[in-house]
Amino acid sequence: MARLLAIGWLFHLKNLTNSLFFVLISVLQPIIFATIAFFMFRSGDRPGGLLYAALGAGLMGIWSSTLFGSGGAIQWQRWQGTLEVIVAAPARFLWVMLPLTVSTASIGLYSIVATLFWGRVFFGVPLRFEHPWLFALALPVTVLSLGLLGLVLASTFVLYRQANAFSNLLEYPIWLVTGLLVPLSLLPGWVEPLSWVLAPTWGMEAVRNAALGGEVWPGIGMCVLLGGIYLALGSLLMQNFERLARQRATLSLT
Amino acid sequence: MSPALRVFFVGGRISYRALFNWISPGMYVATMLGSPLFQILFFTYLGRYAGGQSDDFFIVGNAVQVSAMAGIYGMVMGIANERQFGTLSPLLATPANRLAIFAGRGLPFIVNGLAVSTFGFLSAWALLDFSPDPSVLPALAVVVTITVVVPDKVPPGHSPVTARPPGLSEHRRAND
| Residues of the domain holding B110 | 3-153
For A78-133, what is each residue's pLDDT tens digit?
Answer: 888 888 888 888 888 889 889 999 999 999 899 999 999 999 999 888 888 899 99
- pTM for this structure? 0.85
Of A167, A158, A150, A177, nearest in space to A233 by CA: A150
Give the integer Cα–Cα distance in Å for A125 and A46: 13
Q: How far is CA B84 from CA A75, B78, B79, B87, in A?
A: 20, 10, 9, 8
Residue B164 lies in a domain: no
Structurally, how many domains does chain B consist of?
Answer: 1
Residue B168 lies in a domain: no
Best of A160, A161, A186 to disrupt the B interface by mutation (most B CBs within 10 Å)? A186
Residue B7 lies in a domain: yes
User: Shortest Cα distance from B156 to chain A (angstroms)?
Assistant: 17
- Per CB-CB distance under 8 Å, the chain B contacts of A186 are 45, 48-49
- Per CB-CB distance under 8 Å, the chain B contacts of A162 are 24, 26-27, 30
Give the integer Cα–Cα distance in Å for A27 and A167: 18
Instruction: Choose the closest CB to B45 out of A169, A171, A182.
Output: A182
Inter-chain CB proximity B35 and A44 less than 8 Å = no
DSSP state of B28: I
- Per CB-CB distance under 8 Å, the chain A contacts of B123 are none
Asked if A73 and A249 count as a contact pair (C-beta separation under 8 A), the reply is: no
CB atoms within 10 A of CB B146: 14
Instruction: Choose the closest CB to A165 out of B27, B48, B52.
Output: B27
Written as tens digits, the pLDDT of chain B (176 aa) is 788 888 888 888 888 888 777 778 888 888 888 889 999 999 999 999 988 788 999 999 999 988 887 778 888 888 888 888 888 888 888 888 888 888 888 888 888 889 999 999 999 999 998 988 889 999 989 988 888 887 655 443 333 333 333 333 333 333 33
Name the phi and psi angles at B131, rounded to 5. -140, 85
Inter-chain CB proximity B30 and A171 less than 8 Å = no
